[in-house]
Structure 1
């Protein structure tokens, strides 16, 4: 028996076939195409996304005859599309999580709610990213939202295309700002407050529970259970073995997240003031908390583009720039706010900055300072989490493309003074999607059996350098932290 995982990411769509023991059989990676309309808004074309997903599935399952026990779909959290229930056709483009067309609407939502009361229901601080703001934007911009319409995440959409059934899971429902994580139900009074139909959101199921079975004539054989496995970061947590307080996930991609687990509990003023977001875990009875860097790998790609001429400079060449310089901290501060800042101090108006440059600094210093700056921001999240008693955050499990950058990983360890554990898992998010579906469809008896599988994975360790940590700690405490707020204040005055 095997499991198929599907991951709808910001820049790529992946499909991976796994054995029951979690080992990868075959992988397909296809580019996810972001478009821009005449107003500069980013979007995905739903049918094009399905065609790309189809290619990924076909490639991952070709020349393999073993029975697929279940299919699990994970995705970026707040991206979604409006579907017509009766025809199954998309009535809008897919609006990505990062598109900021909804900022004004989000601000208006904030004026009509009690932010603490809403946080206690949803675990979220108001943001332009959420599904509710996207729905209201569509409504205000000429898209009719009738009783037949339903808002679905990209995971839900792909599951629908495979099965013909419409549903979501708790982790993705929770990113709409209209789902009560304490009761696992939609917030009907809030939905009615904004004059939206009662059924505008789909049925919400526990993560991994089957939505339906693959339909006849589909990209795979008929009758395979399909599950919405949930929010990509949370699926990654399961596959990385992040289930208990004190063990924390550091997921590094275009954006970067620090994510930990806590038992479900009533959220109050302290959690609200922390600035972190909370949500439903794929593990029953648990919540996750999350802080984020909006532009982490995105900062690397931005600087890489600046360093390039006719051809894009390679990662190896950028590493060589660092190797040619001093191996101690640069002393330069970089604030990775190219796309605003995330939790625990969310601010869409924050801007990136280099501080402390000299004429003697070269490209290698800038690149290393950029890596240091993302590590300082990670350390800031760690400090805030520990002050909130969300866990010791003494051990970080790092996953994602950034873990291939050895220099970056060592800087992270040195700045945070944490031992980094890097699971040697091929495509950890895909594996999480597959394992969640396998549990939901009965291939695994419970979550503990799934965790036993991932705990067997080989792992690399990155240990902090004590001398460098002392140097970085001083720069962080005396430079990075004190200048954070003045920098934010300055950019507010120049909007």
Structure 2
């Protein structure tokens, strides 16, 4: 037998995030092989506030990266955060600032819920947070008398980038599902290729205002002559709508079959599990989202802490001002192996899941020697900076353990291995160690600095060439754990105590 070595495959991946946008040049080894994916080069830039600025930033980053590529670019994939987008003119030109998921208005969203009913709206969409949706943004702008709405259309953050590359108004089905304007079919039923007229009607909209939905396996289009000239690439390079950031990263890490699960951390933290079929009513009560996997074969169950990564930044700014970051993290890593005698309930802006409660706030809980939680401390700051940081990270790890336990109660046991994507949750040694201790099973870290952007590149290569591979996982620091059920019980008791007292 003759072994034929094919040229390495290069692809560009884009991840438009809440805080930063990442562009990666990924080289996938020999085409047709299962060799590890290599991040040849990465650029990270702050995500700008405007839609046109986002397009310019991404095109500039792609142009800079491809100029140094040692291989021809086979495809470009674009992933993004959910819900965030921009109004556009009918020709696709962005109008004004991004309307971000974190800026939703609960009072306006209440009108959507009142019009359709909370249970019916969730049953139709699988999404429990209407205040994040573009429909809520649209209604708010109507109330403000925004003149742009007369002929405006909507493009999500991914769609803005895809439009600048292909001239097409499109989005991926996993991001369409985050809008509350896309009807999620039952498990096993075909996905729709467009937004739902009845759901859009709740905000007085029609489907022609929203993009076309790209289904699994399809491409979004190809580079236009203008985009190709701007990037220094050939006309016709395929462009892929990769999808929702957490789902893309999970797929790239090999989380593709029922029972697989991934923990993804950026500004927010998401626990995504592949499931066979799950009760929509049960998921709604837990504040979890139901969607479809990247390939459309299975349902997904998503639990979120929308301010996880943001809480770490808040802690350094508000609790530890002037403290040397690296020293505090190293000291906290040492404490992470010791007794946990305090944790911070990690709710900067309420709790999304489980037991959704928008009134929940930050509270430092001291444990007594028996391991129970007698009550909240008056201040979130402990005497020692490392102890304060450890309490913050312990609270985040326990919140993840609670989300994991709630998913298990709803969907059955996951596989013992939990895949942890890159970002602060994997790079922060103290946080990583606390997760290892407090979650049952074996946590395995992805060996990629930017798994979502790299995953978008991998998915683009997969759609164009059929190459299927997964991001490599680190094994040297993987250890089995039974978790800490008693500490988790104390955390859940403290986290739900305020709600019980109010009721």
TM-score (norm 2): 0.86
Distance between the aligned counterparts of 2:393 and 2:149, measured in 1?
48
Distance of aligned partners of 1:339 and 1:59 in 2 relative to their CA distance in 1, 3 Å threshold: farther
Residue 271 of structure 2 is aligned to residue 258 of structure 1: yes
The within-5 A match list for 1:191-340 is 191-207=200-216, 209-218=218-227, 219-220=230-231, 221=233, 222-263=235-276, 265=277, 268-306=280-318, 308-309=320-321, 313-314=324-325, 316-322=326-332, 327-340=337-350
Question: Does the 8 Å CA contact 1:91/1:143 hold for their aligned counterparts?
Answer: no
Distance between the aligned counterparts of 1:360 and 1:425, measured in 2?
34
Question: Does the 8 Å CA contact 2:133/2:179 hold for their aligned counterparts?
Answer: yes
Q: Which residue is 1:107 aligned to?
A: 110
The within-5 A match list for 1:333-348 is 333-348=343-358
Equivalent pairs, count: 465
Distance of aligned partners of 1:274 and 1:346 in 2 relative to their CA distance in 1, 3 Å threshold: closer
Q: Secondary structure at the match of 1:26?
A: strand
Q: Which residue is 1:158 aligned to?
A: 161
Distance between the aligned counterparts of 1:167 and 1:326, measured in 2?
45
Q: Which residue is 1:9 aligned to?
A: 17
* Structure 1 stretches of at least 4 aligned residues deviating more than 6 Å after TM superposition: none
Q: Which residue is 1:376 aligned to?
A: 398
Question: Does the 8 Å CA contact 2:177/2:184 hold for their aligned counterparts?
Answer: yes
Q: Which runs of 5+ in 1 are unaligned?
A: 34-43
Q: Secondary structure at the match of 1:4?
A: strand
Distance of aligned partners of 1:208 and 1:335 in 2 relative to their CA distance in 1, 3 Å threshold: farther
The within-5 A match list for 1:62-81 is 62-64=67-69, 66-81=71-86
Distance between the aligned counterparts of 1:212 and 1:192, measured in 2?
29
Q: Secondary structure at the match of 2:97?
A: coil
Distance between the aligned counterparts of 1:305 and 1:223, measured in 2?
47
Distance between the aligned counterparts of 1:233 and 1:325, measured in 2?
30
Q: Secondary structure at the match of 2:52?
A: helix
Question: Does the 8 Å CA contact 1:335/1:373 hold for their aligned counterparts?
Answer: yes
Kindly provide the CA deviation profile for residues 298-355 of structure 1, in whole angstroms up to 9, marking residues without a partner as x.
221111113555x5632x2112433675842332131110132222333333211112
Distance between the aligned counterparts of 1:59 and 1:409, measured in 2?
33
Shift of 1:177: 0.3
Determine which of 23, 48, 60 is the counterpart of 2:38.
23
Q: Secondary structure at the match of 1:275?
A: coil
Q: Secondary structure at the match of 1:190?
A: helix
Distance of aligned partners of 1:289 and 1:363 in 2 relative to their CA distance in 1, 3 Å threshold: same
Distance of aligned partners of 1:326 and 1:166 in 2 relative to their CA distance in 1, 3 Å threshold: closer
TM-score (norm 1): 0.87
Q: Which residue is 1:83 aligned to?
A: 88
Question: Does the 8 Å CA contact 1:131/1:175 hold for their aligned counterparts?
Answer: no
Residue 460 of structure 2 is aligned to residue 437 of structure 1: yes
Question: Does the 8 Å CA contact 2:27/2:40 hold for their aligned counterparts?
Answer: yes
Question: Does the 8 Å CA contact 2:292/2:299 hold for their aligned counterparts?
Answer: yes
Distance of aligned partners of 1:51 and 1:455 in 2 relative to their CA distance in 1, 3 Å threshold: closer
Distance of aligned partners of 1:426 and 1:193 in 2 relative to their CA distance in 1, 3 Å threshold: closer
Distance between the aligned counterparts of 1:307 and 1:154, measured in 2?
33
Question: Does the 8 Å CA contact 2:23/2:62 hold for their aligned counterparts?
Answer: yes
Q: Which residue is 1:487 aligned to?
A: 498
Distance between the aligned counterparts of 1:250 and 1:130, measured in 2?
23
Kindly provide the CA deviation profile for residues 343-396 of structure 1, in whole angstroms up to 9, marking residues without a partner as x.
233333321111225998422221111111111111111111111125425321
Shift of 1:398: 0.6
The within-5 A match list for 1:131-170 is 131-144=134-147, 148-170=151-173
Shift of 1:473: 2.8
Shift of 1:297: 1.9
Q: Which runs of 5+ in 2 are unaligned?
A: 1-8, 30-36, 186-190, 367-376
Distance between the aligned counterparts of 1:196 and 1:475, measured in 2?
48
Distance between the aligned counterparts of 2:115 and 2:139, measured in 1?
14
Greater mean alpha carbon deviation, residues 375-384 or residues 140-149: 140-149
Distance between the aligned counterparts of 2:365 and 2:414, measured in 1?
31
Shift of 1:488: 4.0
Distance of aligned partners of 1:96 and 1:489 in 2 relative to their CA distance in 1, 3 Å threshold: farther
Distance of aligned partners of 1:211 and 1:325 in 2 relative to their CA distance in 1, 3 Å threshold: closer
Q: Which residue is 1:95 aligned to?
A: 99
The within-5 A match list for 1:411-490 is 411-440=434-463, 442-444=464-466, 449-450=467-468, 453-454=469-470, 458-464=474-480, 469=483, 472-477=484-489, 479-488=490-499
Q: Which residue is 2:64 aligned to?
A: 59
